[in-house]
Amino acid sequence: MKSLNRREALVFSAVTGGLLLMTPTGAFANAGDAMKTMEEFTGGKPVGDSKLIALEMPEIAENGNTVPLAISVESPMTPDSYVKRVIIISEGNPRPEVATFNFSPLSGVAEASTRMRLAKTQNVIAIAELSDGSLHMAKRQVKVTIGGCGG
Amino acid sequence: MAKSKPRVKAPKKAAKGDIVTIKTLISHKMETGLRKDKKTGEIIPRRIINKFVAQFNGKDIFSVDIDPSISANPYFQFKMRAEESGEFAFIWTDDNGEVHTKKSKLKVS
């Protein structure tokens, strides 16, 4: 291969540089995007793993199109002390946001379940915000055999 | 797309103070907006149910802000403490503005 002269080298770097800029950061959300969504939810406050919140998902999901998910948060659920909302975040789907559950003291217990899509094996995170402003997190890894976001 | 059909399983009777379980499901494709039409190569526009609200006697008891990662035919199960007789209202909102509502009565003794 012949060596590039100055002009060619400039053009070459401009083109590849441009390509790099244009390439989306990956069609799939990475842990970084998930972190951003987490920060938006928590307002940058630190959040640690907590025993108050439980996130139940299967260890292995054969079909990523519909994976059961259940959350429960320990709380008296009275007007003085209740769970305000719980966000579900995926680390490996095209978009990190999955859903936000909004509870009220009328809920009685902070428990909900649904079914979600998983594009590939990944971590799923649930963060609960309580009425006193405290944050509680749970994380689960789910192995996916067939991804569920279509081609 | 086939018409969305909401389905709800909520108790008709409860004792005061009981925690009742409510199950809801609506038939909906939940098109993510990320899939491509295999023939034309064009992206199929997003169309999902983006909000679900459950009310009792006009007050919100539980709601969900929904993103495309929720599976087709979105299913939600949740609970409520039965304090008084009244009526549930379940409301689903589609990206295209369509609203689906279903009601159910609860008698508390």
Domain limits for position A45: 27-144
pLDDT band of residue A2 (cuts 50, 70, 90) is low
* Residue found by looking up tokens 């509680």 in the block: A136
Reply yes or no on whether the pLDDT at A4 is more than 70.
no
Q: How many CB pairs under 8 A join A and B?
A: 105
pLDDT in tens, A83-137: 999 999 999 999 999 999 999 999 999 999 999 999 999 999 999 999 999 999 9
**CB-closest option in B38, B70, B79 to A99:** B70
Distance in Å, alpha carbon of A1 to nearest chain B alpha carbon = 37
Record: contact B61-A104, CB cut-off 8 A: yes
Nearest CA in chain A to B49: A99
pLDDT at B3: 79
- Where exactly are the structural domains of chain B? 5-33+47-108
**CB-closest option in B63, B69, B83 to A116:** B69
**CB-closest option in A77, A98, A114 to B76:** A114
Measured CA to CA in angstroms, residue B46 lies from A26, A69, B16, B35, B96 at distances of 19, 23, 43, 9, 10
Residue A93 lies in a domain: yes
Average pLDDT value for residue range B68-97: 96
Record: contact A77-B35, CB cut-off 8 A: no
Q: Does domain B5-33+47-108 have CATH number 2.60.40.10?
A: yes
Q: Is the ipTM of this complex over 0.90?
A: yes
Average pLDDT value for residue range A31-37: 86
**CB-closest option in B32, B71, B76 to A112:** B76
pLDDT at A15: 47
Record: contact A108-B69, CB cut-off 8 A: no
Average pLDDT value for residue range B68-93: 97
Q: What is the CATH number of the domain that holds A72?
A: 2.60.40.2470
* Residue found by looking up tokens 């920060």 in the block: A39
Report CA dihedral (B70, B30, A39, A46) to the nearest 10 degrees: -10
pLDDT in tens, B26-70: 999 999 999 988 899 999 999 999 999 999 999 999 999 999 999
Reply yes or no on whether the pLDDT at A46 is more than 90.
no
Distance in Å, alpha carbon of B59 to nearest chain A alpha carbon = 9
More confident residue, A14 or B38: B38
CB B101 within 8 A of CB B90: yes
Record: contact A104-B60, CB cut-off 8 A: yes
pLDDT at A32: 82
Reply yes or no on whether the pLDDT at A12 is more than 60.
no
Give the H or E element holding residue A41: helix A31-42
Residues of B in contact with A27 (CB under 8 A): 34
pLDDT at A19: 42
> The pTM is what?
0.85
pLDDT at A6: 62
pLDDT at A77: 96
Report CA dihedral (A82, A46, A87, A30) to the nearest 10 degrees: -170
pLDDT at A128: 97
pLDDT in tens, A67-79: 999 999 999 999 9
Reply yes or no on whether the pLDDT at A17 is more than 50.
no
Distance in Å, alpha carbon of B40 to nearest chain A alpha carbon = 13
Nearest CA in chain A to B70: A116
